[in-house]
Amino acid sequence: MNPIKHIKIKKGMMVSELVENMGDAGFGAKKINQAANILIDMYKDKDCKIFLGVAGAMVPGGMRELIVDMLDRVDVFVTTGANLTHDLIESLGHSHYQGSETDDIELNKKGIDRIYNVFMKNEVYPDLEDFFEKNWKHFQECKNIKEFLWKIGEIIGKGLLGKCYKKKIPVFCPAIADSGIGLMVWGRKVAGKNIHIDAFEDMKEIIDIAWTAKKRGVIYIGGGTPKNFIQQSLQFSKGADYGIQITTDNPSGGGSSGAPLKEGISWGKMNKEARFVDVNCDATIALPLILGYLKEKI
């Protein structure tokens, strides 16, 4: 048994040193270190295809660059339509803003939308409209959600979608209709402009990758549809060999977002010999720590 060594803060201490120290502590600190080390092994394992699932408003929360960086090693990216909409909004030149849990009636009058302690201006919507209006003919060529998202990435050339397109990283978003991007498509469709995006077509690709990979690693930030979509693609494979989950939800309600990774072993979504850890923490705190360690060690 390893004795707990107490964390010490030194002047000039690096993030990687802190996470190293956390590895000698307990509770969540230890789990941050475990996650960081599992991630390193996952990254280093050349046989391992990495599936990254991101739910929660990570782009408004300030995690966009970190996720863009992760895409350098990720083989499959699954996220919510909300994150992709917020990504596109920033690619179009808009910002999200620091706010507070304040009077929502006042915010509404000012045309400001609140996401916990982050604000967004309603003035983003006309620019979103323009973008889709102007580029509509390109989207009409797309047959599945991934092609549609890559097309946005190709046109916009930056952010999460720009990176996915450039690096040809399959990006999936099963609930794409459930987002601001969805609203833009709806706007064109009600105006009589056709588009035919198949709801199921992407499944073949994600399942092919899951089944043919020599090894599989999963990174779940926040549960939701991204986690579940990755998990089901793994269900009839040999299961994930590496796993990290960062969530603020808890298991007691029976939902997938709070379910611990080990539950996935029963389903075959997680391999019974897998190395994995659940980190119960706000991802905007946990993720920079984990990636700060990774940066130094790889």
> If residue 275 lies in a helix (H) or strand (E), which one and from where to where?
strand 270-280
The nearer residue to a second copy, 35 or 213, going by C-beta atoms, is 35
Which residues on neighbouring strands pair with residue 119, listed in sequence order?
Answer: 97, 114
Among positions 127-186, residues that touch a second copy (CB under 8 A) are 145, 174-180, 182-183, 185-186
Which listed residue (49, 151, 227, 269) is catalytic? 269
CA dist 168 → 8, 69, 116, 173 (Å): 43, 15, 33, 15
Site string (29-68) toward a second copy, x via CB under 8 A = xxxx----------------------xxx--xxxxxxx--
Known catalytic residue at 269: yes
Tell me which residue of 114, 130, 134, 54 sits closest to 87, measured CA to CA. Answer: 54
The nearer residue to a second copy, 189 or 214, going by C-beta atoms, is 189
Distance CA 45, CA 49 (A): 9
State the minimum distance, in angstroms, from the CB of residue 176 to a second copy. Answer: 6
Site string (231-250) toward a second copy, x via CB under 8 A = -x--x-----------xxxx
Please identify which residue in 36, 74, 84, 118 interacts with a second copy, judged by CB under 8 A. Answer: 118
CA dist 263 → 63, 234, 258 (Å): 28, 14, 11
**CA 265 to chain CA mean position, Å:** 22
The nearer residue to a second copy, 136 or 288, going by C-beta atoms, is 288
Distance CA 53, CA 229 (A): 8
Site string (178-217) toward a second copy, x via CB under 8 A = xxx-xx-xx--xx----xxxxxxxxxx--x----------
Which residues are catalytic, by number?
Answer: 269
